[in-house]
Structure 1
Amino acid sequence: MSIPLSAVREASAEQLEAAFNGPPEEAARWIAAAARAGMLEAQILYGQILLEGRGVAEDRHAALGWFQAAARAGSLKGLTMVGRCHELGWGTPVDRARATALYREAAEKGYDWAQYNLASLMAQEGDRAGALAWFRRAAAQEHAKAMTVLGRFLEEGWETPRGPAAARALYARAAALGDFRAQFNLGTLATAAGDIPAALRWFEAAAAQGSPGFLGKMAMMLLARPEAELRALGLRIEKSVKRVSF
């Protein structure tokens, strides 16, 4: 069924998001029409659809093209996604220097995801001091992943004095926003403090949202614990990961 152009042009961000999360083929048609009508958020969502092959054939080169279109129109999210394509080789050869430059451009204009991605690249390349500064800026905007990593910096004393209480507070803020790594870190802290009921609550929260790779490592850690309750949870997680794998 064709989509009236007037309906596409009047779509709200909420309607676009709802369409994106709907039936894949219908979402692809609707969001493609909105992207072609010049809606920046639709261009980014359609790029994501093409990256994942959701309701259409996977086409990473075409996805990059839509991210570039949004970036040219001034979207910092689009600019950051172009950087992501260069970092990971989506539709273009891997070019970490180009990715860094694009992240920095968007980061300096205040986009939190660009700040987080730039910090992550800097950390991977050994520039922890530079990474710390950008993680702080992203965390100041309540970016959950940045808060979790900043918490690790403070917990471990990387490029900054150790601050266990500040680290815990950051984990708690990020966990409340649904970051499973922060939830896992709170579980680890509770385990170290001997508060196994609290540890179980946090580990179960992390298990409900974690990626398969993360959950596999989490299960191994829990299975090695002496506490029967933690080992039992580790076994449940291990079984769930195996079910997903098969």
Structure 2
Amino acid sequence: MFFQLRREEVVDVAGLQAMLEESPGKAAQAILAAAGQGAVEAQLLLGQILLDGRGIQADAAVARRWFGIAAQGGSAMAHNMLGRCLEHGWGGEPSQAQAAIHYARAADAGLDWGLYNLGNLLATGRGIPANQAQALMCYEKAAHMGHAKSMNLYGRYLEQGIATAPNPTRAVRWYRRSAEAGDFRGMFSLAMVLVERGQVADAAPWLERARVEGNMNFLRSALVTLQGAGPVLMGFAARYAEEIERRGE
């Protein structure tokens, strides 16, 4: 999709995103101009840079409003991002119930992230009644669309038999797909299955990648798992503890 910024200049979404890498301030002005002219994808992008403070002063409240405008314009990703703002209280009062509505709209439009985020609310009962069967459906659909985080969660449901018959063989296949697609939680899930099979050498690279690429919440929870796994993983537990200390939290 292309946006007319001035009579002599036309910039597409890819061009705006590339401009962000080279000149964030200039890109922000171009994005703002395109968004003001009603270009929905530019409105979505404007919301994102306002949320991140990239090329423009961060303002979560204004970002939230732009996501709302883009959602009204039919953007599935804007519904998803508005849901994120509502779920986490970015730029205003949180409302997980309202977040679920927007995630559902994104999911109904076929957006993998909408399916994933709706699945998370269904799985935990935040904002809407918990429903593991529906959460499973969300994760499964998003996994088949190539969503790495959903692949890992779909694998977990299969491994643990949540709302479905246990199927460890299929679970491992999905963990591997998630890991290979770059999800650090999928890497850890795959590694732990390999450890259970006695394949520690095969698990080691995945544990190392997860340590380097994982966020702090993941590292803390993974450390507890590693510490409870016995002597075979104590070296990895020590490295995870060192990583947490190195990051200063």
Q: TM-score band (shorter)?
A: 0.7 to 0.9
1:127-174 deviation digits (Å, cap 9, x = unpaired): 111211222221221111111111100000011000001101111111
User: Quick one: which of 230, 243, 247 aligns to 1:244?
Assistant: 247
Change (3 A) 1:7 1:181: farther
Map 1:59-78 → 2, pairs under 5 A = 59-78=59-78
Q: Which letter maps to 1:129?
A: A
Which segment drifts farther, 213-222 or 89-98? 213-222
Residue 176 of structure 2 is aligned to residue 172 of structure 1: yes
> Distance between the aligned counterparts of 1:9 and 1:148, measured in 2?
44
Alpha-carbon shift at residue 175 of structure 1 (Å): 1.2
Tell me which residue corresponds to 1:221: 225
SS at match of 1:218: helix
Residue 104 of structure 2 is aligned to residue 104 of structure 1: yes
> Distance between the aligned counterparts of 2:221 and 2:181, measured in 1?
22
1:93-137 deviation digits (Å, cap 9, x = unpaired): 222222112221221221211111111111111211121122222
Q: Is the 8 A contact 2:122 2:132 kept in 1?
A: yes
Unmatched segments (≥5 aa) in structure 1: none
Change (3 A) 1:199 1:23: farther
Alpha-carbon shift at residue 30 of structure 1 (Å): 4.4
Q: Which letter maps to 2:48?
A: Q
Residue 200 of structure 2 is aligned to residue 196 of structure 1: yes
> Distance between the aligned counterparts of 2:18 and 2:227, measured in 1?
39
Tell me which residue corresponds to 2:238: 235
TM normalised by structure 2 equals: 0.86
Using the aligned pairs only, state the percent identity: 37
Alpha-carbon shift at residue 57 of structure 1 (Å): 2.9
Which segment drifts farther, 68-77 or 216-225? 216-225
Unmatched segments (≥5 aa) in structure 2: none
User: Quick one: which of 182, 185, 190 aligns to 1:181?
Assistant: 185
> Distance between the aligned counterparts of 1:99 and 1:154, measured in 2?
27
TM normalised by structure 1 equals: 0.87
> Distance between the aligned counterparts of 1:48 and 1:8, measured in 2?
27
Tell me which residue corresponds to 1:42: 42
Alpha-carbon shift at residue 217 of structure 1 (Å): 2.8
Alpha-carbon shift at residue 244 of structure 1 (Å): 2.2
Change (3 A) 1:23 1:73: same
SS at match of 1:10: strand
SS at match of 1:11: strand
> Distance between the aligned counterparts of 1:133 and 1:100, measured in 2?
15
> Distance between the aligned counterparts of 2:213 and 2:140, measured in 1?
25
Q: Which letter maps to 2:85?
A: C
Which segment drifts farther, 90-99 or 10-19? 10-19
Give the CA RMSD over aligned residues. Answer: 2.5
